[in-house]
Amino acid sequence: MENTYDIVIVGAGPAGMTAAIYAIRANMKVLMLDRLAPGGAIINTNEIENYTGAGKLTGAELAIKMFEHTQELGVEFDYRTVIDLKDEGEWKTVVCEEDDAVYKARAVILATGTVPRRLGVPGEDQWAGSGISWCAICDGAQYRDKEVVVIGGGNSAVEESIYLAGICTRLTIVTMFDLTADPKACDQLRKMPNVTVYPYQEVLEFTGEDRLTGVRFKSTKEDATERYVTCDGVFEYIGFAASSEAFAKLGIVDRTGCIEADARMRTKVPGIFGAGDITVKHLRQIVTACGDGAVAANSAASYVESLKQ
């Protein structure tokens, strides 16, 4: 039957692509869907230095390698935004936005990752995409020899700040707590001569008339001192929200929207599996996403085989 698969994988990031490789090698008929180009969050990552055996490479390079691997094995891929998933017992129906496409699958692996969170302060909507960015590798070059503010202090904020500080004249970090990233990366950033860190701050607004010109923030300590820093661009790294709206009604997500899966990546709905950053987990990295993808595919293939017997 056309549009009928053993396993449909939603999301072609590291988790989805690894799941696809394991699923097709388990002789499953596999379809992988993504609303964007394959690669997921790593497409927008400057340098990756912690993916075992890969050395130092850009996120885009790794994304291409992963996708080529799926294509060499014959994984079917399509550009689709999944807007609904229906559980009909032994069959699942995957509903897409584009062309009202519908796919039937015996098992579905959800590997839809996360999207950046926003602050929700005045000026953010006005300058989003034209002054405020969530991706240094995509937009950083515009700020060569200019002044930049980074909001956040976690791994993404610190890694991307190291990259941005190398090209801009002055980089200011405004963060709710202190820097919480990998200590080695924090040390590297603090040593950069053009970097100033303001910990324990709350962003109040982004200002500007014809273009973004600055950020106002205040201390969360007792003194509540207000500061204003001029800048040409802002990069926000304040965490991520789970991309799970389309699946929430199945009762498989927690209160943060992350998919609850067991050690075999099974959700509480038989035949629906989760993998990667979208799942409830402690460490959201490429290597852990790939591990989840492999486990999810292995479990999904066993499940499909059991239905066919």
Ligand X SMILES: Cc1cc2nc3c(=O)[nH]c(=O)nc-3n(C[C@H](O)[C@H](O)[C@H](O)COP(=O)(O)OP(=O)(O)OC[C@H]3O[C@@H](n4cnc5c(N)ncnc54)[C@H](O)[C@@H]3O)c2cc1C
Binding residues for ligand X, rule: CB under 6 A, are: 10-16, 33-36, 40-42, 45, 48, 50-51, 81-82, 111-114, 156, 159-160, 243, 246, 276-277, 284-287, 289
Report the nearest approach of ligand X to the CB of residue 111 (Å).
Answer: 5
Distances (CA, A) of 32 to 21, 69, 152, 186: 10, 13, 33, 37
Tokens matching residue 140: 């950083």
Minimum CB distance to ligand X, residue 248 (Å): 12
Rounded Cα gap, residues 292 and 138, in angstroms: 27
Compute the least distance from the CB of residue 224 to ligand X, in Å. 31
Least distance CB 242 / ligand X (angstroms) = 9
Nearer to ligand X, 13 or 131 (CB): 13
CA separation for the pair 130, 11 (Å, rounded): 28
How far is the C-alpha of 101 from the C-alpha of 275, rounded, in Å? 23
Amino acid at 186: C
CB 184 within 8 A of CB 155: no
Mapped onto helix, strand or coil, the DSSP state of residue 290 is helix
Would you say 236 or 277 has its CB closer to ligand X? 277
Residue 134 CB, nearest approach to ligand X (Å): 8
Q: Which is nearer to ligand X, 208 or 276 (CB)?
A: 276
Specify whether the CB–CB gap between 80 and 244 falls below 8 A: no
Describe the crossing of helices 155-165 and 183-190 by its angle, rounded to 10 degrees: 30
DSSP 29-75: -EEEEESSSTTGGGGG-SEE--STT--SEEHHHHHHHHHHHHHHTT-
Closest approach of ligand X to the CB of residue 72, in Å: 19
Q: Which is nearer to ligand X, 16 or 131 (CB)?
A: 16
Comparing CB distances to ligand X, the nearer of 208 and 284 is 284
How buried is residue 212: exposed, middle or buried, by Cβ count under 10 Å (0-12/13-18/19+)? buried
- Shortest approach of ligand X to residue 226 CB, angstroms? 29
Residues, the chain: 309
How many Cα atoms within 13 Å fall on the side-chain side of residue 177?
11
Nearer to ligand X, 15 or 174 (CB): 15
Give the residue with the Cβ less far from ligand X, 51 or 198: 51
